[in-house]
Structure 1
């Protein structure tokens, strides 16, 4: 995914179709000059529908489609014939897309499966024809219902990436390097903070042709949950991950404190994130020797499964994949 092509937020105006009016027709033919009511019902207005598509990873295709308009239903006809329904508009979106009302912020729909469809903005109902209003006291009603108007509303579509493992860490902790080593993903890698500006996904092959999905999000800094850095925009992608893999470089002055800061940012953003399984990877261990590694282990959180890795030398990469797989299947 090129950085310029990853779009996880769009705002669109949805307008569903108006319902068609019912007919107030009275039956007439050469044998019957004064027949009864035979007006048909109007057609339903077109819906605007969201549909999950596992082949999509971004909302880029909707970025410039600001107005989505469905067709109106057609009018009812004579001989009890109903009007045609307005054509629906189907918006295909990635799995993990949430729709919210712009004004209220209320969640309107959530797409979590491939092929799942949800009516986002329903079309107006068609009006009833005059045949429905015939009664003993009014045998020839000359009125019919108008169709219901469609709905016009602004909607936010927001994508939260679905992945088995989410990489969490400060900028330049080695997250993108790890993803590039264990998968075919090609994220931008450089020796400066905020190299990663958008999330990257990679499918990680495992033993016996198994695999899991790993997501690398832009680095978090202290205060990210309050809007500092890039973190606040992309923290939402962590919400859909099964496991959180915290990554901290051996270059850190205080690994335990850095882990605490990261944990605090997640808790401030969404306390439910702390209920997820957590693992810790200490990166760039090619920069230290075994003796220093033993000393660093003494300062680490005791209840957190930890692996010392090096993406450059491949040290313990397989051990890390084993730990991730065991944790995923333990759940």
Structure 2
């Protein structure tokens, strides 16, 4: 089986660096037999940092990066010398990456911009040396602090595709064909279910040099919200799409039922997805005459705009682009 270069889920063990211990030291040299405290502070432990990189589109480079361990800070030393800080570990990730704690499911960080840096796991603070605890009544303190421990645990890095428009539909609805016609993307196309196993992105050229991004996502099936088929792996990618384009083939047995199944899966997975703008496109409509189109229109929801298209004859594609552009850029 061919391995995909698109990796959108990574599980790693991460540990930030421990802080160095403060020093307990007193000045001693040939001129000073019993000097005061001069123990330096310990260095900070290394952070683990996430950095956005717009050149990346997958987590493939992290596939074998199973243990991420930042360097510990050095201990403080005499002459009030502070220990060296531990080296930070910088993990470059594509835009749209979410970092979570595996045990609690809490979102630790979210990367949406190129060059954005987020300290994911903070390194432990260095301990104070005994020179910090000198007072008029205690001029020779023995006390010094150990460094703080770093943070560790099993973590999850997920990628949610960033696109303006997400293509939603059952397998074989014609999503990949549409993407190949209106963009420069070349997704795999064949006459069987789940041809698309990973998200495919393409830029749609609009008028006057303007453009928007559209994503062909793996086909949804009934029960996807419960994890059936590609389940949650598919559904999480549509969370960031501003507009959802429902693609329903003209030869569907029940257009209304097909839309309701898709709508229901989105609602079960995350009810907030229903707040997005919806558009319905009836694909493969080159086989329809005006009478059949009117019959199909009666099955579709009145509140959702629709358009009849054919990727083969390119009929209705200009109207579809206009509808998508106006929806994406409508006044708030």
| TM-score relative to the length of structure 1 | 0.97
- 1:76-105 deviation digits (Å, cap 9, x = unpaired): 122212111100000011111111111111
Aligned equivalent of 1:308: 308
Q: Kindly tell me the number of residue pairs found equivalent between the two proteins.
A: 330
- In structure 2, C-alpha distance between the alignment counterparts of 1:201 and 1:118, rounded to whole Å: 26
Go from structure 1 to structure 2 and tell me whether the alpha carbon gap of 1:207 and 1:3 turns closer, same or farther (over 3 Å shift). Answer: farther
- Counterparts of residues 91-170 of structure 1 (less than 5 Å): 91-170=91-170
Q: Which moved more, 1:21-30 or 1:315-324?
A: 21-30
Aligned equivalent of 1:78: 78
SS at match of 1:267: helix
Aligned equivalent of 1:228: 228
Aligned equivalent of 1:7: 7
- 1:37-69 deviation digits (Å, cap 9, x = unpaired): 111101000000111111111111111110001
Structure 1 unmatched runs, 5+: none
- 1:273-304 deviation digits (Å, cap 9, x = unpaired): 00000001000012222332233223322111
Aligned equivalent of 1:272: 272
- Aligned-pair RMSD on alpha carbons? 1.3
Task: Indicate whether 1:32 and 2:32 are aligned.
Answer: yes
- In structure 2, C-alpha distance between the alignment counterparts of 1:36 and 1:320, rounded to whole Å: 80
- In structure 1, C-alpha distance between the alignment counterparts of 2:223 and 2:26, rounded to whole Å: 71
- In structure 2, C-alpha distance between the alignment counterparts of 1:148 and 1:301, rounded to whole Å: 60
Mapped contact 1:39–1:79 kept (Cα < 8 A): yes
Aligned equivalent of 2:61: 61
Mapped contact 1:3–1:197 kept (Cα < 8 A): no
Mapped contact 1:17–1:73 kept (Cα < 8 A): yes
- In structure 2, C-alpha distance between the alignment counterparts of 1:115 and 1:138, rounded to whole Å: 49
Mapped contact 1:218–1:231 kept (Cα < 8 A): no
SS at match of 2:214: strand
SS at match of 2:177: helix
Aligned equivalent of 1:329: 329
- In structure 2, C-alpha distance between the alignment counterparts of 1:83 and 1:75, rounded to whole Å: 5
- In structure 2, C-alpha distance between the alignment counterparts of 1:217 and 1:262, rounded to whole Å: 13
Mapped contact 2:48–2:121 kept (Cα < 8 A): yes
- In structure 2, C-alpha distance between the alignment counterparts of 1:24 and 1:64, rounded to whole Å: 42
SS at match of 2:4: helix
- In structure 1, C-alpha distance between the alignment counterparts of 2:101 and 2:228, rounded to whole Å: 26
- 1:299-320 deviation digits (Å, cap 9, x = unpaired): 3221111110001111011110
Mapped contact 1:170–1:220 kept (Cα < 8 A): yes
Q: Which moved more, 1:136-145 or 1:46-55?
A: 136-145
- Counterparts of residues 223-262 of structure 1 (less than 5 Å): 223-262=223-262
Task: Indicate whether 1:49 and 2:43 are aligned.
Answer: no
- 1:79-135 deviation digits (Å, cap 9, x = unpaired): 212111100000011111111111111111111221111111111110101101112
- In structure 2, C-alpha distance between the alignment counterparts of 1:86 and 1:51, rounded to whole Å: 18
- In structure 1, C-alpha distance between the alignment counterparts of 2:256 and 2:142, rounded to whole Å: 80
| TM-score relative to the length of structure 2 | 0.96
- In structure 1, C-alpha distance between the alignment counterparts of 2:227 and 2:324, rounded to whole Å: 30
Go from structure 1 to structure 2 and tell me whether the alpha carbon gap of 1:232 and 1:152 turns closer, same or farther (over 3 Å shift). Answer: closer
Q: CA deviation at 1:230?
A: 1.6
Structure 2 unmatched runs, 5+: none
Q: CA deviation at 1:3?
A: 6.4
Aligned equivalent of 2:288: 288
- In structure 2, C-alpha distance between the alignment counterparts of 1:80 and 1:103, rounded to whole Å: 41
Q: Which moved more, 1:36-45 or 1:133-142?
A: 133-142
